[in-house]
């Protein structure tokens, strides 16, 4: 139990970082109605771009901005494969993701792992988040405001605010209409291809940003860091949806639900690890959890459907 409790702040921090990626997945999966598998590659791209630039002496914000742009570029590739080449969206994601493995390797100078020298105090000082701040800010080695829960929490709140505003604009509404009903969107003069590409860029930009944050948190980026990211993202989206769909109607709150979903996912993960599960089984566990939650609505409709009540409204 103490192992678990000690790991809790770290789990919440990691959940918050992955929550940003989950928001990206939410944009494609829920709003655009596309299962975009690009994220498995673009997550690592974000970390790779960040670690190389930061190690090369770039400012932490510059490096994060570059990571965001690199992710958007990956989204652009998937989007164009779909919109301009007519390849089904799910295949586009798989193709880009596979190609990105080589690209990520190239970015990382063909090393499977690149580390940030966090043992050097002044390097560590420059990072936005780090594993070392989790306990360090409590013990007093670092100021308390540097705690990753606070920093990433604030960062996420700003992101949700920006996204909330964006999806209220004409362009954002066009994106939502594209995902809701493409026929209607085109009939209302919306370029649905453009909207899909833009949505994929936005989504993968966020995913890469999350990758850049995780790279800082871990103090290193390794080539397989994004493997199964889509499943974690989906898990967060689904957990958030199952727990809060009745409670949260507002769009900003729905995004918050996704972040909470990611946090819960990491807490559960820590709990399972604390019970002594071999970490190598985690991916299997994640896949099972997501499979079960994705099946629930289907089972519910098929086996537990309530009979329709007679005597409904006359003008239904």
Partner 1 sequence: MLEIKEIWKTFNAGTVNEKQALRGVSLTLNEGDFCTVIGGNGAGKSTMLNAVAGTWAVDQGTISIGGTDVTHLPEHKRAAFIGRVFQDPMMGTAPTMQIIENLALAARRGQRRGLRWGLAKAEKDRYQELLSGLGLGLEDRLTSKVGLLSGGQRQALTLLMASLKKPKLLLLDEHTAALDPKTAAKVLELSDKIVAENHLTTMMVTHNMKDAIQHGNRLIMMYDGRIVIDVSGEEKKKLTVPQLLELFSKVSGSDEADDKLLLS
Binding site for partner 1 (CB under 8 A): 166, 168-174, 176-177, 179-181, 183-192, 316
How far is the C-alpha of 134 from the C-alpha of 144, rounded, in Å?
9
Q: Is 299 exposed, middle or buried (0-12, 13-18, 19+ CB in 10 A)?
A: exposed
Would you state the structure tokens that stand for residue 45, as one six-digit string? 């791209």
CB of residue 160 to partner 1, shortest distance in Å: 18
How far is the C-alpha of 8 from the C-alpha of 27, rounded, in Å?
28
CB of residue 250 to partner 1, shortest distance in Å: 11
CB of residue 195 to partner 1, shortest distance in Å: 9
Query: Cβ closer to partner 1: 115 or 193?
Result: 193
Query: Cβ closer to partner 1: 59 or 169?
Result: 169
Residue located via tokens 């309530």: 306
Query: Cβ closer to partner 1: 139 or 309?
Result: 309
Query: Cβ closer to partner 1: 8 or 177?
Result: 177
How far is the C-alpha of 148 from the C-alpha of 152, rounded, in Å?
6
CB of residue 83 to partner 1, shortest distance in Å: 12
Query: Cβ closer to partner 1: 62 or 169?
Result: 169
What one-character DSSP code corresponds to residue 226?
T
CB of residue 190 to partner 1, shortest distance in Å: 6
| Cα atoms in the 13 Å half-sphere on the side-chain side of 189 | 2
Strand partners, 114: 221
């Amino acid at each position: 139990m103490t192992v678990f409790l000690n790991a809790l702040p770290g789990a919440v921090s990691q959940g918050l970082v992955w929550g940003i990626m989950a928001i990206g997945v939410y944009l494609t999966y829920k709003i655009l109605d596309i299962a975009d598998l690009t994220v498995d590659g673009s997550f690592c791209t974000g970390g790779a771009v960040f670690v190389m630039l930061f190690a090369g002496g770039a400012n932490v914000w510059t490096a994060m901005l570059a990571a965001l742009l690199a992710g958007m570029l990956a989204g652009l590739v998937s989007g164009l494969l779909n919109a301009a080449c007519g390849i089904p969206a799910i295949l586009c994601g798989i193709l880009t993701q596979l190609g990105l493995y080589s690209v990520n390797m190239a970015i990382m100078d063909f090393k499977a792992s690149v580390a940030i020298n966090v043992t050097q105090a002044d390097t560590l000082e420059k990072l936005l988040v780090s594993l070392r701040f989790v306990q360090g800010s409590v013990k007093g080695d670092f100021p308390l405001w540097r705690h990753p829960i606070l920093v990433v929490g604030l960062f996420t709140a700003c992101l949700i605010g920006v996204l909330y505003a964006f999806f209220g604009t004409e362009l954002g509404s066009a994106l939502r209409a594209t995902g809701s009903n493409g026929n209607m969107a085109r009939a209302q003069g919306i370029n649905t291809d453009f909207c899909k590409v833009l949505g994929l860029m936005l989504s993968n930009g966020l995913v890469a940003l999350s990758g850049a944050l995780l790279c800082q948190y871990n103090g290193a980026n390794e080539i397989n860091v994004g493997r199964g990211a889509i499943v974690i993202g989906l898990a967060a989206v689904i957990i958030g949806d199952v727990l809060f769909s009745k409670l949260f109607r507002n769009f900003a709150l729905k995004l918050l639900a996704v972040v909470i979903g990611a946090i819960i996912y990491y807490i559960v993960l820590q709990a399972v690890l604390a019970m002594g599960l071999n970490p190598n089984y985690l991916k299997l566990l994640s896949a099972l959890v997501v499979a079960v939650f994705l099946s629930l609505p289907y089972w519910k409709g098929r086996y537990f459907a309530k009979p329709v009540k007679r005597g409904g409204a006359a003008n239904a």
